[in-house]
Structure 1
Amino acid sequence: MPSRTSIARTGVRILTSVVVLAAGVVAVTAAASVPWPSVTSGVPSVLVTPVASDQTRVCSGPLLAVATDGSTSTPTLASIGGTAGISAASPTGTALLSGELATPDTPDSTEKPQKITATGADGVLIAGSQSQQLDEADLTGLASSACAEATAESWLVSGSTTTGRSSTVVLSNPTAVSTTVSLTIYTEAGLVQAPGANGIIVPANSQKVLTLAGLAPDAVSPVIHVTATGGRVLATLQQSVIRSLDPGGVDVAGPTEGPALTHTIPGVQIVSTSAIAERATDAASSDLPAALRVYVPGAAGATLSVTLKSETLGVPDVTASYSALAGVVTDFPFPSLPDDDYSITVASDQPVVVGARSSVVSGGTDFAWYQASPAIGGTFLFTTPIGPSPRLMLANSQGSDAAVTLTPAAGEPITATVAGNSAAGIPISATMVYTVTTSQPLSAAVGFLGDGLISAYSISPPSPLAAPVTVYPGG
């Protein structure tokens, strides 16, 4: 039995433990009520402004003729008569470097595709364009195009490979590295199985040329999706037409905008409508009437609402509705229109790619392809090569008016207003550099029109600036 002494000692120990525990609770409570010193540290970061990269534009070079024995995708090609006159400049006085691209597919050509470069020119506007007029026994017409940037992806909505139609895909690589290109081709019959369309090597600073007939024979309405890996290319399509035994025109078509629900094609020139309607009854001239080419890349068909806005004030808009099947290309004729320049707006319930074609038969026969182009705001630059009656064609898809100032390199500035949801055209001069400032984003193109001559090209936005980037170093 425990003694009174041991019991007493045990009681003392228990009491002491309770007192210590109580003191600890008081200390913790007091500490919680006292502000603790705080230490904070933000995520380390560095604001870096990239060194401005070179700005380069590629001019695709002279028109090419396919040899009569050209039955494959890479036949012998030769440049044809006429000079591809180039106009290139920068209004800020920045020195532009020019150089030629190698042309292994056309080694005997006396003219070469060109590239123009502004070295380390962040924010400097540069532009270029070219044109070539032919008056040969079997080839006549005017072909104009913008000198444009090379990209990793583009769409060509143009061309044909039916009887009398020659179409050539031109891939220009202005970079210092080789690039591999694949062409995915769609027609009115759907996807084309073309083994030679993949793994196309385009060496650095060179141009590769392929005839479309070797890849997609007897195609009425081709659309080509161009993708490049390891580098970038400028893809263009050259087309020439012979109707029966008569020359039917030439043109160079640049890339159009990629799949989207809404597109704007500025400055489509609708002319010679009565004469074309009479000639179109002949099968060889069935592609003379103006038309809208549409490809639906998705799995579902598209319902399109197409609005044509005349550049003539007071003329009401014309609207048409079309249904396009998925996976195939369709050419839709435009409704009956008076001769004029038109801005075309395409609204679709499915993403589509679009382009337009028009012709002239007065004093000769020629045709032109038109591309969908993005709206450009602020300030941009363009040049005009040689061609008849050049005209800047503007489309305003905004609800408010756009104030435009067009400043030539020589001469007085031109001011104009493009009303909201309308189109306008401004006569300009050939072989001239223009700086444009606008209060609203506008889609823009340059068009030429003369006796037996028609051509146009869209104006692309300037290169983005080398904006500062916040870099977070890894731990």
Structure 2
Amino acid sequence: MANRALVITGRVTSGVVALGAAFVLIAGASVLPLPTLDTSAEGVEITPVSVGQERVCPGPLLRLGDANGQGATTVNAFGAANMVSSSGAATLTPSPLQDVDVVSSQSGQTSALLSSTTATVASDLLSGAQAQTAFESDAFGLAAISCNEGGATSWIVAGATDTGRTSLLLLANPSPVPATVDIYLYGVEGPVEAGGLSQLIIAPHTQRVLPLSGYAPGDAQLAMRIDSTGGLISATLEQSIVRGLEPGGVDLVGPSATPSRTQIIPGVRVATSAARDQRAQVGGSQDVETTLRVMVPGADNATVTVGVTGDTADALGTSLEVTARSGTVTDILLPGLTDGTYTVTAKSNVPIVTAVRASVVSPPDDSSSESDDEEEEDEEETTVSQGGELVSGSGADVTIVDGERIDLAWFASASELEEDTTFAVAGGPAPRLSLVNSGDADTSVTLTAADGTAQEIAVPAGGAVSVDVGVTFYTLSNVASVRGAVSFQGDGALASYPVRQANPLATPLTVYH
């Protein structure tokens, strides 16, 4: 508005000219330049002062109640997460955060803050990641996530609170000042009206845990926006599934890319597709299917065109078009995907946020020992009647296949990288880096491991490439128009997290005046 006021004042002043002086302007026109109105704004590039980098690792997996099912309203940590971190030339100082709502921790481990002494983008590319495998009666599978920077706004597209589904929202404040947080929950019917989600105070260097069943009970399709003022918030969602008495997977998921008309999800790994399709026909197991979740933040409905392409010729994709209602969360089944690695692209007429849910269904450990006894075959399946609504929205019995091992994973949409970045690969089975080039020209990305070993990865325009990586940290260079994700897949294990821009808060800003 200041610029416009200056322009208006200039017009009025130049228009007030005495008649007697008019000949002076005319006569001088041949020797003096006429005044011009320059409406272009001058931009000044400003680099934020180096104040150190911070990443939050959410820590060990959590459950409501203890291992014996007692104290269902209490939060308890079990097991320990394997954390991997790198700091380039910076001094790395991991320190525990205070888990305010956690009553007990089996291993003594807590959420952790990774920090470095400087924020120089060129030399200090701080990154971290964690992974944990659960073998509990109420939690099974691999949960892996990058250690993320705090932000003022985050979108998480994941979670469910219908029968057997538990979703815990973790809010960590790595800042030295309190954070005031507002949470906006969205479900299948639209915004969730619930008290206790606004003006939450998160103390400095603490992590809080909110069970979402207390705010949006019985909802199979959740997404959320987390806003904070004061301190910045690192938000994580933990989701676990129990079907009857059978654990059906656990995962940790961080923020998706901010609302946009184009969302890209790299490195969606599909495995055990035949067993998955068979299991999806069993009561209470419809959510093992590979599914795109879409949330429409604005006031207008979204027409979403979904494209799924395989990284290799034998991974056949699919395409479809759907309408998603404004303010609601829509799950879109991605049918017919065989084993392989895929890129999922969602294009919309209005901004959307997205993520993909996938599962692996592995046979029992001793799958070769089949009994010829009719009674033993019958005992391999147990049916437990469940109340409430299933993912499909219709009541049905939950059928348990004895010994089958199921894990779920959320694949968050990735933001386009702008500068060199680093990422850590946590300890998990068959880690893989997937890169997508959304630009119009072919590019060659340089991947450099911690030991200095470098390789060039050619990524065609509009295409994707996946390469195997190790449990260490890497630097990515020449990443313009590129998005990335790290994924893991093994026997009864599936997990993923996007590659995020290293130290985005320290990148130069252009200020116009």
Residue 425 (1) aligns with residue 423 (2):
no
Residue 106 (1) aligns with residue 147 (2):
no
- Aligned partners of 1:188 and 1:221 also within 8 Å: yes
Following the alignment from structure 1 to structure 2, what is the Cα–Cα distance between the partners of residues 47 and 379? 19
Match of 1:164? 164
Q: 2:439 aligns with which of 398, 409, 416?
A: 398
Q: Aligned to 2:320, what secondary structure does the other structure show?
A: strand
Structure 1's 409 and 459: CA in aligned 2 closer, same or farther, altered over 3 A? same
Query: Deviations along 1:330-379, whole A, 9 cap, x unmatched?
Result: 10100312211111111001111111100000242101001111111442
Q: Aligned to 2:277, what secondary structure does the other structure show?
A: helix
Match of 1:22? none
Structure 1's 415 and 467: CA in aligned 2 closer, same or farther, altered over 3 A? closer
Structure 1's 303 and 410: CA in aligned 2 closer, same or farther, altered over 3 A? same
Q: 2:82 aligns with which of 82, 85, 91?
A: 85
1:279-358 correspondence to structure 2 within 5 Å: 279-313=279-313, 317-358=317-358
Structure 1's 468 and 157: CA in aligned 2 closer, same or farther, altered over 3 A? closer
Q: Aligned to 1:374, what secondary structure does the other structure show?
A: coil
Q: Aligned to 1:111, what secondary structure does the other structure show?
A: coil
Following the alignment from structure 2 to structure 1, what is the Cα–Cα distance between the partners of residues 258 and 185? 14
- Aligned partners of 1:122 and 1:466 also within 8 Å: no
Structure 1's 297 and 439: CA in aligned 2 closer, same or farther, altered over 3 A? closer
Following the alignment from structure 2 to structure 1, what is the Cα–Cα distance between the partners of residues 298 and 321? 19
Residue 438 (1) aligns with residue 478 (2):
yes
- Kindly state the Cα deviation for residue 405 of structure 1 after the two structures are TM-superposed: 1.7
- Kindly state the Cα deviation for residue 438 of structure 1 after the two structures are TM-superposed: 2.7
Quote the sequence identity (%).
Answer: 36
Following the alignment from structure 2 to structure 1, what is the Cα–Cα distance between the partners of residues 196 and 279? 37
Following the alignment from structure 1 to structure 2, what is the Cα–Cα distance between the partners of residues 450 and 65? 24
- Aligned partners of 1:50 and 1:469 also within 8 Å: no
- Aligned partners of 2:420 and 2:479 also within 8 Å: no
Letter in 1 for 2:414: S
Structure 2 length as normaliser, TM-score? 0.79
Residue 455 (1) aligns with residue 495 (2):
yes
- Kindly state the Cα deviation for residue 279 of structure 1 after the two structures are TM-superposed: 1.4
Structure 1's 407 and 469: CA in aligned 2 closer, same or farther, altered over 3 A? closer
- Kindly state the Cα deviation for residue 462 of structure 1 after the two structures are TM-superposed: 1.8
Letter in 1 for 2:446: T
Following the alignment from structure 2 to structure 1, what is the Cα–Cα distance between the partners of residues 169 and 142? 18
Structure 1's 108 and 324: CA in aligned 2 closer, same or farther, altered over 3 A? same
Letter in 1 for 2:248: G
Structure 1's 189 and 426: CA in aligned 2 closer, same or farther, altered over 3 A? same
Match of 1:257? 257
Gaps of 5+ in 2: 1-19, 33-43, 364-404
Query: Deviations along 1:136-176, whole A, 9 cap, x unmatched?
Result: 23321000000011001111110111111111000000000
1:259-278 correspondence to structure 2 within 5 Å: 259-278=259-278
- Kindly state the Cα deviation for residue 416 of structure 1 after the two structures are TM-superposed: 1.7
- Kindly state the Cα deviation for residue 50 of structure 1 after the two structures are TM-superposed: 4.8
- Kindly state the Cα deviation for residue 466 of structure 1 after the two structures are TM-superposed: 5.8
- Aligned partners of 1:52 and 1:466 also within 8 Å: no
Q: Aligned to 2:99, what secondary structure does the other structure show?
A: coil
Q: Aligned to 1:108, what secondary structure does the other structure show?
A: strand
- Kindly state the Cα deviation for residue 94 of structure 1 after the two structures are TM-superposed: 1.6
- Kindly state the Cα deviation for residue 101 of structure 1 after the two structures are TM-superposed: 0.7
Following the alignment from structure 2 to structure 1, what is the Cα–Cα distance between the partners of residues 167 and 130? 19
Following the alignment from structure 2 to structure 1, what is the Cα–Cα distance between the partners of residues 46 and 424? 34
Match of 1:415? 456
- Kindly state the Cα deviation for residue 70 of structure 1 after the two structures are TM-superposed: 6.9
Quote the RMSD (CA, aligned, Å). Answer: 2.5
- Aligned partners of 1:158 and 1:237 also within 8 Å: yes
- Kindly state the Cα deviation for residue 463 of structure 1 after the two structures are TM-superposed: 2.1
Q: 1:56 aligns with which of 54, 57, 67?
A: 54
Structure 1's 378 and 395: CA in aligned 2 closer, same or farther, altered over 3 A? same
- Kindly state the Cα deviation for residue 49 of structure 1 after the two structures are TM-superposed: 6.1
Q: Aligned to 1:449, what secondary structure does the other structure show?
A: strand
Structure 1's 69 and 226: CA in aligned 2 closer, same or farther, altered over 3 A? farther
Following the alignment from structure 1 to structure 2, what is the Cα–Cα distance between the partners of residues 96 and 300? 46
Structure 1's 471 and 397: CA in aligned 2 closer, same or farther, altered over 3 A? closer
Count of aligned pairs:
429
Letter in 1 for 2:78: I
Structure 1's 69 and 188: CA in aligned 2 closer, same or farther, altered over 3 A? farther
Match of 1:136? 136
- Aligned partners of 1:86 and 1:130 also within 8 Å: yes
Letter in 1 for 2:119: A
Structure 1's 456 and 468: CA in aligned 2 closer, same or farther, altered over 3 A? closer
Residue 370 (1) aligns with residue 411 (2):
yes
Structure 1's 115 and 305: CA in aligned 2 closer, same or farther, altered over 3 A? same
Letter in 2 for 1:405: T
Q: Aligned to 2:288, what secondary structure does the other structure show?
A: coil
Following the alignment from structure 1 to structure 2, what is the Cα–Cα distance between the partners of residues 204 and 137? 34
Query: Deviations along 1:287-324, whole A, 9 cap, x unmatched?
Result: 00000011112222111111112111475653211111
